[in-house]
Amino acid sequence: MNPTVLIADDEKHVRELLKMIAGTIHFDIIAEASNGVEAIALFKEKQPDIMILDINMPRKTGDEILEELTNEIENTCVIMMTAIVDKEDVDKCMRLGAKYFILKNTPIYRMAKLINETWKSFEQDKKSLTVEKYDLSQLMVEINNDKMLKCE
Amino acid sequence: MFDDKFPKEFEDLRKNFALSLQNKLFDIVNLEKKLIENNFEINTIQELYQATHKISGSCGMFNFSKISEAAYKLEEFLKSVVKAGTGLIPEDQSRINDLLSGLKKELEHIKSYSKETE
């Protein structure tokens, strides 16, 4: 199954281009938002695998969106788009759960590659985390079993 | 990764975007008038900052690098003015005017691009 994407940018042409890029790397675009409030509502409704988020949007900015969704984005790969790199913005968004920052003037072929690689790495991390959690719970069961045996 | 249709689709989208830049030029001209009318008031500078930020980002994506760079220069200067929060000195106003002229000049060029591709 292809990963699902929510695109949020207030520029219609930019959304069109991002849709084209995402389609080319076989991502399914399930929603697009033109402002921050719409992005939050669509995120909650659709629960996408990936959210591509412009940092400077009307009604709510990218970092405000992340702040509001802070407990809900754990399973979503958030990729921020920005026209210029502002270290403060980058640090804040990464702290709030963004996985990657892409500059808007990145050539589109490279942009597609970066989006794809960020998703693959996010997916890989998620899988490793699941395995780790499983290992830990297995270990706990074994420890408990040992304790019970000793008690007997 | 990209199929054969991609360059053609991108070029079509780029043409549409180029047409929309004429509206952006119109917006910039109006903001310039407003800025002069209200003597470089901070809210209008903020508005101009938002407009140039959008232009620099979207033009970068569509590979109109000269417009993107001109918008970026103005955006950065406006940002420093807003951050300083100390009000504008005549040299700042003159710098804004110069950077605005540079941006308008680059946006004017887009008219010929749009005509060429029609």
Structural domain contains residue B1: no
Does any CB of chain B come closer than 8 Å to the CB of residue A113?
A: yes
Give the Cα separation of A8 and A51 in Å (integer).
8
Give chain A's length. Answer: 152
- Please report, in tens digits, the pLDDT of each residue of chain B (118 residues total): 666 777 888 999 999 999 999 999 999 999 999 999 999 998 999 999 999 999 999 999 999 999 999 999 999 999 888 888 777 888 999 999 999 999 999 999 887 666 655 5
A56 and B2 within 8 Å at the Cβ level: the answer is no
Q: What single DSSP character describes residue A142?
A: H
Domain limits for position B81: 6-117
Q: Residue B17 is part of a domain; what is its CATH number?
A: 1.20.120.160
pTM over 0.90: no
What residues have CB less than 8 Å from B83, skipping those under 6 apart? none
Structural domain contains residue B86: yes
Does any CB of chain A come closer than 8 Å to the CB of residue B93?
A: no
Structural domain contains residue B14: yes
B61 and A17 within 8 Å at the Cβ level: the answer is yes
* Residue A152 confidence (pLDDT): 64
The three-point CA angle B42-B44-B46 to 5° equals 70
* Residue A12 confidence (pLDDT): 94
Quote the crossing angle between the two packed helices B6-37 and A12-24, to the nearest 10°: 160
CATH of region A4-151, choose from 3.40.50.300, 3.30.56.10, 3.40.50.2300, 3.20.20.480: 3.40.50.2300
Does any CB of chain A come closer than 8 Å to the CB of residue B22?
A: no
A83 and B53 within 8 Å at the Cβ level: the answer is yes
Smallest Cβ–Cβ distance between A13 and the set B50, B56, B58 belongs to: B58
What is the total count of domains within chain B? 1
* Residue A130 confidence (pLDDT): 75
ipTM of the complex: 0.83
Could you say which residues of chain A have pLDDT below 70? 132-134, 150-152
DSSP state string for chain B: ---TTHHHHHHHHHHHHHHHHHHHHHHHHHHHHHHHHTTS-HHHHHHHHHHHHHHHHHHHHTT-HHHHHHHHHHHHHHHHHHHH-S---HHHHHHHHHHHHHHHHHHHHHHHHHHHH-
* Residue A87 confidence (pLDDT): 87
Give the Cα separation of B72 and A124 in Å (integer).
37
> For residue A81, with 0-12 CB atoms within 10 Å meaning exposed, 13-18 middle and 19 or more buried, which class applies?
buried
Does any CB of chain B come closer than 8 Å to the CB of residue A117?
A: no
Does any CB of chain A come closer than 8 Å to the CB of residue B95?
A: no
> Where are the domains positioned within chain A?
4-151
Q: What share of chain B is helix, strand, coil (3-state, %, to 5)?
A: 85, 0, 15
